Amino acid sequence: MQLNSFRIVLLLVFSISIIDYVYSSDFVPAPPLLPRRKYVEHTKPISINPSQWVGKRIDNIQETEIELTIGIKQRNLNTLEKIVWEVSDVKHPNYGKYLNFNQVKSIVEPSEESVRIVSNWLENNGIDNFRLSGSGDFIKGKVNVLKAQDLLKVEYQRFTHEESGRILIRSLDPYSVPWELEDHIDFIGGVNHFPLVARLNKMENIKKELNYVSPYLVRKVMNASIVPAHAANSQAIAQFLEEYFSQSDLDLFQQHYRLDQKAITTIRGPNRETEPGMETALDIQYITAMAPNVSTWIVSTGGLHEGQEPFLDWLVDMSSNPDLPYVHSISYGDDESSIEKAYTDRVDIEFQKYAAMGRTMVFSSGDSGVGCTSSCDSHVPGWPASSRFVLSVGGVDWDGTNMNGDVISGGGFSNYFPRPQYQEDVVSNYLSKKVDKSFEKLFNSSGRAYPDVSSFSESLIIAHRGRLMSIGGTSASAPIIAGLLSNINSKRLSLDQPTIGFVNPLLYKIAKENPESFYDIKTGSNEFHCCKGFKSSDGWDPVTGLGVPNFNVLLDYMTKFDSS
């Protein structure tokens, strides 16, 4: 056995050296012994749920365009990660010493060679409209589908999502790139990825307002006083697909609850006031209710274009922006297993860049509890909630007296990312005491565990299309937490302290040293379909994380740390 594998290795070495010889200099080969592979496969075969997506031939293929986004390999990634842990560690002398956009860029920027090789490849294929992003590490542009097929050795189809009617141009074939490119690109977006199509949140008309969750109730239960906004502070919500913003709904909401009003600072991307999205209404109304007067951006990506990958668009747009808001609330998620590891690894680097710049990324943890495969044999973790470099926010419901872990609250363990040090002790404590051994095989106990914290995710009142209604989902808990964190930034900025940035290490530290900073949620569980879920319990758990912030107490602790 050993001998055999040894021989195989030798054979490989031998044949490689022959090929090199055959192709070197100006030696013209008689028919080569082995054809040199021109292309390397860059992805695995894709499988989709055929009951959700139906693929057809593209009829007007000559006129159909697809947008491709090429992530160029960056450099010095160990340095970047080291910086992230240092600037986010209150015990480190570099705590809060964030880098600016150009400093980060100069560390990780791809080599000129990488950019040149990718550009040459495009040009040699007659593509000259692709552009390098401001961050210098994505190349992006639109191309005819026939051209893309030829470029990537795939066949595209036109897919329709049965339930929502959404249309996508995608390929199920793993794409290939010439071998010269392999070491210079991370991934190519716009080929294989099928974004999760969001389901409508539970929504109902309001009968008795008292039975629902309002900004007042959130403040009262979370012990969150109003904090004066700092003029230099900023926050943002991200919107995908055709979710637009309505100023009149925001006005209605703010007037109804007598909240301080301030105009939205920046709306990036397309907006159609006449088609207000419920998700947008929820996010903007709660982030501004929690952090009134703080400059707020709405970043909207993805209109009707069939070839678009909205999350990737958002990422490229944000990564090229030197003046990024301090806190971002993003209610977006996908099944981790449905996405290429190479893609999530690259996005993780982008999150590290934001962390190095003192930005806070808040993601909802998902509305499918533990998630579950169709064969019921394993949980399905959600991503980006499973990234170590974002704050993942789960949900609780309110029964009129108490908060309980919400059954929808996305939670569990990543299969892609290992458990970070900051949560090691609380998570191993949970695993050692609380997990029933019979279901340990459903999840990967060595992975990054989430969520980190929680807030309200059921029966929140919003204004939508001119009237009040109620809505639920971890889509609600994320902007609540994001707005409250913005208040901490306002307070810290007023004390000349750096912004909270990548806040996870500090939150876990505070929870350990000052447990009264969180309402520990001990009831509820997050089973999903035929998969058994986790139970909330003392301390951290994979339903509600560390719990719901007791905001005023947390604010006190979080303004005690400064760069030394």
User: Which stretch in 161-169, 225-233, 268-276, 362-370 sits in contact with ligand NAG by CB under 6 A?
Assistant: 225-233
Yes or no: say if 452 and 546 are a contact pair by the CB < 8 Å rule: yes
Nearest-approach distance from CB 379 to ligand NAG, in angstroms: 11
Q: In 10 A of CB 537, how many CB atoms?
A: 20
Binder of ligand NAG out of 48, 61, 493, 553 (CB under 6 A):
553
Segment 91-150, which members bind ligand NAG (CB under 6 A)? Answer: none
CA–CA gap between residue 352 and residue 367 (Å, rounded): 25
> Which of these ranges, 9-17, 192-200, 440-448, 457-465, lies near ligand NAG under the rule CB under 6 A?
440-448
Q: Which is nearer to ligand NAG, 140 or 448 (CB)?
A: 448
Q: Which of 13, 54, 226, 495 binds ligand NAG (CB under 6 A)?
A: 226
Six-digit token pair at 505? 């290490």
Q: List the one residue from 79, 266, 374, 552 that touches ligand NAG (CB under 6 A).
A: 552
For the record, the structure tokens of 196 come out as 């999760």
Q: Which is nearer to ligand NAG, 135 or 293 (CB)?
A: 293
229 binds ligand NAG (CB under 6 A): yes
How near is the Cβ of 310 to ligand NAG at its closest, in Å?
A: 27
Q: Does 542 bind ligand NAG (CB under 6 A)?
A: no
Name residues contacting ligand NAG, limited to 175-194 (CB under 6 A).
none
Is there a binding annotation on residue 521? yes
Q: CB-based contacts of 154: which residues, under 8 Å, 6+ apart? A: 148, 171, 173, 174, 175, 176, 191
- Please identify which residue in 195, 269, 276, 292 interacts with ligand NAG, judged by CB under 6 A: 292
Q: Considering the complex, what minimum distance in angstroms separates the CB of residue 413 from ligand NAG? A: 8
Q: Is 418 a residue that touches ligand NAG (CB under 6 A)?
A: yes
Output the CA torsion sign for 297, 384, 53, 173: positive
Given 94, 119, 223, 321, the residue binding ligand NAG (CB under 6 A):
223
Site for ligand NAG in 293-312 (CB under 6 A): 293
- Specify the residue, 307 or 447, whose C-beta has the smaller distance to ligand NAG: 447
Q: Which one among 260, 275, 377, 562 touches ligand NAG, defined by CB under 6 A?
A: 260
| Parallel, antiparallel or unpaired: strands 295-301 and 234-240 | parallel
Q: Nearest distance from residue 536's CB to ligand NAG, in Å?
A: 19
Determine the 3-state secondary structure of 416 from DSSP: strand
Closest distance to ligand NAG from the beta carbon of 227 (Å):
6
**Helical (H) or strand (E) element with 220:** helix 215-221
**Is 279 one of the annotated active-site residues of the chain?**
yes
Yes or no: say if 77 and 348 are a contact pair by the CB < 8 Å rule: no
Least distance from ligand NAG to the Cβ atom of residue 534, Å: 17
**247 backbone φψ class: left, alpha, beta (φ>0; ψ -120 to 50):** alpha
d(CA 77, CA 171): 31
The residues, ordered by sequence, that sit 6+ positions from 218 with a Cβ below 8 Å of its Cβ are 224, 286, 289, 290, 455, 456, 480
Query: Which distant-in-sequence residues (6+ apart) come within 8 Å of 502 by Cβ?
Result: 84, 87, 88, 354, 355, 358, 359, 360, 361, 389
DSSP secondary structure code for residue 532 in this structure? -
In the bound state with ligand NAG, the residue whose beta carbon lies nearer, of 223 and 559, is 223
Residue 164 annotated to the active site: no
> Which range binds ligand NAG by CB under 6 A, 194-202, 213-221, 453-461, 548-556?
548-556
Cβ-proximal residue to ligand NAG, closest one: 552
Q: Among 279, 340, 348, 406, which one carries the catalytic annotation?
A: 279
The residue count for binding ligand NAG (CB under 6 A) is: 15
Residue placing its CB nearer to ligand NAG in the complex, 210 or 263 = 263
- The reply on whether position 415 binds ligand NAG by CB under 6 A is yes
Indicate whether 559 belongs to the interface with ligand NAG (CB under 6 A).
no
394 Cα distance to chain centroid = 14
Smallest separation (angstroms) from ligand NAG to the CB of 20? 34
Determine the residue type at 243: E
The residue among 293 and 470 lying less far from ligand NAG, judged by its C-beta, is: 293
Backbone angles phi, psi at 535, to 5 degrees: -110, 140
* Beta carbons of 302 and 313 less than 8 angstroms apart: yes
- Is there a binding annotation on residue 541? yes
- Residue 303 is assigned to a ligand binding site: no
Give the helix/strand (H/E) hosting 300. Answer: strand 295-301
Has 475 been annotated as catalytic? yes
Q: In sequence order, what are the beta bridge partners of 267?
A: 298
Q: How far apart are CA 286 and CA 475, in angstroms?
A: 10
- Collapsing DSSP to helix, strand or coil, 125 comes out as coil
Q: How far is CA 61 from CA 57, 87, 142, 509, in A?
A: 9, 50, 14, 55
Instruction: Point out the catalytic residue in the list 365, 414, 475, 537.
Output: 475
Q: In angstroms, how far is CA 133 from the centroid of its own chain?
A: 20
Least gap, CB of 445 to ligand NAG (angstroms): 8
* Cα–Cα distance, 380 to 528 (Å, whole number): 10
Task: Give the relative orientation of helices 77-87 and 101-108 as an angle to the nearest 10 degrees.
Answer: 140
Rounded to a whole number of angstroms, the minimum distance from the CB of residue 506 to ligand NAG is 18
| Residue 342 in the binding site for ligand NAG (CB under 6 A) | no
Ranges within 442-481 binding ligand NAG (CB under 6 A): 444, 446-447
Binding-site entries: 520-521, 539, 541
Residues annotated as catalytic (active site), given as ranges: 279, 283, 475
Which residues of this chain interact with ligand NAG, rule CB under 6 A?
223, 226, 228-229, 260, 292-293, 415, 418, 444, 446-447, 550, 552-553
Binding-site entries for Ca(2+): 520-521, 539, 541
